[in-house]
């Protein structure tokens, strides 16, 4: 207790000013970290600014309804590419979503043992395999046997790329469901498959949908795996077994062309593409941030 | 269960023998009907459970299957080139489709150099922004900052390339490269004509693209450092920087390293933006101003034009090399990240 007799002295010794060196490093650290944040965000602002600035002027009704015109003629649009992209993405989702969610459920609900660890690890590694390599594999699996490019081949490539992302996010989300809910369902005498599908998966549905949308947004802009699977097409094509135009391929080939008219179209296409993706990502963010299992940022 | 009356016994016994469960003393007729139905339905539901479980097992095995197919397809389709060139494929410097002579060294060099430039630029920024978000950022700004970084990861490669061609390259050519040539010529890295397009442009665009990957993993790892560690160091009178250095970064080292290697993996395999900016010339030059070529770009550019089998086979072999390298790089990165977050939420693209 006698220590309390001189509180003034101890306070002063505690609040002794920092040495100049410590103060300087601390201030330097705060400044550098803030500068890093600004430098990272700057390109984002620049890219979106340019997309809006260049893209809005080139988007018109023709762009959304017409097919590409030959070099020299002005006008024309990317309607076939937009529809083609939707078709390829739809085919991809048909493959990616069921397999991804299935694998995610297996890892979360039966997730013990070496096999599941191996699957989890492989999914993470698969996530990092370059998309161009996935393109080669899809080419070898679908295009070579068929002897022609097709939307299906593109869909296979994108679907394969969706599986690991969906599997891992679904697993994460299912693991967040409290065990008491599983036990309550099983305690009512419901068979396991119904308990998993109708109770556990349903509880985690929001998060699982998030995972699917993120995977969708990620592959929506993929170009490399489509170059020699869907290949691209200057005309309308709704047959999934034929070469099909895709928005990213169209942007790529227009961007590296030497024609101003095509550059404009590339910007417009890029704006459409990014709007699709940002809407998907923001919708996900909005839905999850209101839910109980929000990703705490 | 009540004992049945004597007069009913023979009949009951008859039923019992008919059913074939003579050992039980309890007469069968008195059992309620429900358990029998339950018994019946549980056989179906057991079968359904078995089916359900195995369908799911099949789904997760498909992940392993896909990896297997990748290796099988790429190995079998590159046999021709492997047999003809052997290890010389990776040391040869000529790439001549006409005479059928293929060496991949210029592409390997381009991939390594552009990734290295990207890492040098991206690592300090990514770690800085992750530290900013977790340790410094006011709570109100935290959500929006990390959302913006996520958005950066969602921009497609081809749009980075488009922006690079029309915005980044002119800026580099007109302002950055003359400045670098003036002040950095002594390093030998900044010599030659300033085209704008070239190794430097590719490295910068790659850096912008991998910052979100490194930053989001680093952030995840930093969040995993227990709060008590920070409080303990602060309580000893440390400044903010000392706290970050001693309590946060030191504990998160392995995970941050994992994030960096993951970013490297992405840079190695990145295709479209690099193809649009690197100049696509198979040369080995020391200067960052010179055009180059990467493994992924050569596949993207030449795969659908490859006419003869050997040419295609050589391109597939480059793809195989890319696959092997990225699998190794990602495996190392994942193990490092898992060691910190214990495999819980090592999501890469969220």
Domain that holds residue B130: 79-341
Alpha helices in chain A (DSSP H): 7-14, 20-58, 61-65, 79-109, 114-127, 131-138, 144-146, 151-175, 179-187, 192-194, 201-203, 205-220, 247-255, 260-290
Identify the residue among B63, B79, B259, B329 best suited for mutation to test binding to A, counting A beta carbons within 10 A and taking the highest.
Answer: B63
Per the CB < 8 A criterion, the answer to whether A36 and B128 are in contact is yes
- Per DSSP, A277 falls in state H
- Measured distance CA(A62)–CA(A75) in Å, rounded: 7
- Report the residue of chain B nearest A254, measured CA to CA: B162
pLDDT at A294 over 80: no
Identify whether the C-beta of residue A232 lies closer than 8 Å to the C-beta of residue A243: yes
CATH number of A83-289: 1.10.3720.10
Q: What is the ipTM of this complex?
A: 0.88
Residue B168 · residue B205 · CB < 8 Å: yes
**Which residue in B has a C-alpha nearest to residue A191's C-alpha?**
B45
Nearest chain B alpha carbon to A104: B60
Whether residue B241 lies inside any domain: the answer is yes
Asked if B155 and A18 come within 8 Å (Cβ–Cβ), the reply is: no
Q: Distance (Å, rounded) from C-alpha B152 to C-alpha A61?
A: 29
- CB B300 to CB A196 under 8 A? no
A131-138 vs B295-302: helix axis angle to the nearest 10? 40
B138: left (phi over 0), alpha (psi -120 to 50) or beta: beta
* Total residues found in chain B within this entry: 350
pLDDT per residue as tens digits for the range A24-61: 999 999 999 999 999 998 988 999 999 999 999 888 88
User: How far away is chain A from the Cα of B327, in angstroms, using its nearest Cα?
Assistant: 6
Asked if residues B318 and B295 have their Cβ atoms less than 8 Å apart, the reply is yes
Smallest Cα distance from A133 to chain B, Å: 6
Nearest to B270 by CA among B246, B241, B299: B299
CA distances from A134 to A51, A58, A152, A159, B182 (A): 29, 33, 14, 10, 43
**How many angstroms separate the CA atoms of A287 and A272, rounded?**
23
For residue range A180-228, what is the model confidence (pLDDT) as tens digits? 999 999 888 888 898 999 999 999 998 898 889 889 988 999 999 999 9
Q: Which residues are CB-contacts of A109 (< 8 A; sequence separation ≥ 6)? A: A174, A196, A200, B56
Q: How many residues are listed for chain A in this entry?
A: 297
CA B237 to CA B247: how far, in whole Å?
A: 13
Residue of A nearest to B136 (CA): A30
* A46:B323 CB<8 A: no
Nearest to B323 by CA among B295, B301, B297, B304: B295
- With a threshold of 0.80, does the pTM exceed it? yes
Pairs from A60-67 (Cβ < 8 Å, separation ≥ 24): A63/A265, A63/A268, A67/A234, A67/A235, A67/A236
Residue with tokens 């590694």: A125
Answer whether residue B152 is part of any domain.
yes
Give the H/E segment covering residue B336: helix B309-341
How far is it, in rounded angstroms, from Cα B205 to Cα B263? 13
Do A133 and B145 lie within an 8 Å CB cutoff? Answer: no
Contacting B residues, span 116-135, partner chain A, CB-CB under 8 Å: 124-129, 131-133, 135
CATH number assigned to the domain comprising residue B201:
1.10.3720.10
| A100: CB partners within 8 A, 6+ apart | A162, A163, A164, A165, A166, A167, A170, A211, A212, A215, B59
Q: Count structural domains, chain B.
A: 1
Q: What's the DSSP call for residue B291?
A: -
- Give domain limits for chain A: 83-289
- pLDDT digit of tens for each residue in chain B (350 aa)? 344 444 444 444 444 444 444 444 555 555 555 444 454 467 788 889 999 999 999 999 999 999 999 999 999 999 999 999 999 999 999 999 999 899 999 999 999 999 999 999 999 999 999 999 999 888 888 888 888 887 888 899 999 999 999 999 999 999 999 999 989 888 888 988 888 999 999 999 999 999 999 999 999 899 889 999 999 999 998 999 999 999 999 989 888 999 999 999 999 999 999 999 999 999 899 899 999 999 999 999 999 888 889 999 999 999 999 999 999 999 999 888 888 776 444 333 33
Nearest to B64 among A50, A122, A141 (CB): A122
Using a CB-CB cut-off of 8 Å, the residues of chain A touching B322 are 130, 132-133
- If one counts every other C-beta atom within 10 angstroms of the C-beta of residue A106, the result is 29
Q: Give me the total of CB pairs closer than 8 Å, taking one residue from chain A and one from chain B.
A: 289
CB contact under 8 A, A40 and B319: no
B residues 192..221 contacting A (CB < 8 A): 208, 211, 215
Residues of B whose CB is below 8 A from A227: 300, 303-304
């Amino acid at each position: 207790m006698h220590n309390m007799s001189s509180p003034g002295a101890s306070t002063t010794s505690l609040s002794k000013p920092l040495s100049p060196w410590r103060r300087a490093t601390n201030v330097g650290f705060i400044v550098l970290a803030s500068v890093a944040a600004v430098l990272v965000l700057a390109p984002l602002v620049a890219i979106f600014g340019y997309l809006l600035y260049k893209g809005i002027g080139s988007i018109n009704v023709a762009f959304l309804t017409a097919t590409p015109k030959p070099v020299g003629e002005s006008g024309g649009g990317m309607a076939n590419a937009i529809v083609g992209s939707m078709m390829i993405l739809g085919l991809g989702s048909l493959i990616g979503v069921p397999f991804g969610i299935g694998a995610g459920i297996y890892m979360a609900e039966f997730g013990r043992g070496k096999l599941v660890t191996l699957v989890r690890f492989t999914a993470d590694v698969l996530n990092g395999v370059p998309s161009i390599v996935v393109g080669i594999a899809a080419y070898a699996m679908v295009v070579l046997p068929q002897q022609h490019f097709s939307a299906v081949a593109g869909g296979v490539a994108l679907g394969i790329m969706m599986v690991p992302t969906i599997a891992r996010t679904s697993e994460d989300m299912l693991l967040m469901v409290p065990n008491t809910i599983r036990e309550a369902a099983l305690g009512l005498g419901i068979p396991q498959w119904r308990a998993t599908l109708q109770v556990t998966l349903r509880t985690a549905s929001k998060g699982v949908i998030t995972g699917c949308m993120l995977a969708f947004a990620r592959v929506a802009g993929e170009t490399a795996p489509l170059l020699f699977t869907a290949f691209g097409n200057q005309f309308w094509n709704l047959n999934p077994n034929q070469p099909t135009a895709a928005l990213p391929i169209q942007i790529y080939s227009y961007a590296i062309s030497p024609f101003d008219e095509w550059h404009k179209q590339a910007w417009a296409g890029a704006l459409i593409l990014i709007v699709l993706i940002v809407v998907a990502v923001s919708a996900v963010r909005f839905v999850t941030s209101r839910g109980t299992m929000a990703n705490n940022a | 269960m009540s004992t049945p009356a004597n007069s009913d016994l023979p009949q009951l016994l008859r039923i019992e023998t008919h059913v074939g469960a003579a050992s039980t003393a309890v007469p069968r007729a008195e059992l309620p009907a429900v358990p029998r139905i339950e018994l019946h339905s549980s056989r179906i539901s057991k079968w359904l459970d078995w089916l359900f479980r195995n369908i799911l097992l099949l789904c997760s095995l498909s992940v392993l299957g896909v990896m297997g197919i990748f290796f099988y397809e790429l190995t079998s389709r590159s046999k021709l080139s492997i047999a003809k060139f052997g290890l010389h494929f990776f040391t040869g410097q000529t790439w001549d489709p006409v005479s059928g002579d293929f060496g991949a060294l210029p592409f390997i060099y381009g991939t390594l150099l552009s990734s290295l430039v990207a890492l040098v630029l991206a690592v300090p920024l990514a770690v800085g922004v992750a530290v900013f978000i977790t340790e410094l950022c006011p709570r109100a700004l935290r959500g929006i900052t990390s959302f913006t970084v996520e958005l950066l990861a969602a921009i497609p490669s081809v749009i980075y390339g488009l922006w690079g061609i029309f915005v980044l390259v002119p800026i580099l050519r007109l302002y950055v490269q003359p400045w670098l040539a003036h002040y950095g010529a002594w390093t030998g890295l900044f010599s030659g004509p300033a085209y704008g397009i070239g190794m430097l442009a590719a490295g910068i665009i790659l850096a912008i693209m991998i910052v979100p990957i490194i930053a989001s993993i680093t952030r995840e790892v930093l969040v995993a450092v227990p709060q008590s560690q920070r409080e303990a160091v602060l309580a000893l009178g440390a400044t903010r920087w000392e706290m970050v250095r001693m309590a946060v970064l030191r504990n998160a080292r392995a995970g941050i390293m994992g994030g960096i290697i993951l970013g490297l993996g992405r840079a190695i395999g990145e295709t479209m933006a690099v193809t649009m900016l690197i100049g696509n010339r198979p040369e080995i030059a020391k200067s960052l101003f010179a055009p180059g070529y990467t493994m992924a770009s050569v596949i993207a550019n030449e795969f659908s034009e490859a006419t003869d089998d050997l040419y295609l086979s050589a391109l597939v072999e480059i793809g195989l090399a890319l696959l092997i390298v990225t699998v190794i790089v990602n495996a190392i990165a994942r193990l490092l990240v898992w060691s910190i977050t214990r495999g819980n939420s090592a999501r890469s693209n969220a």
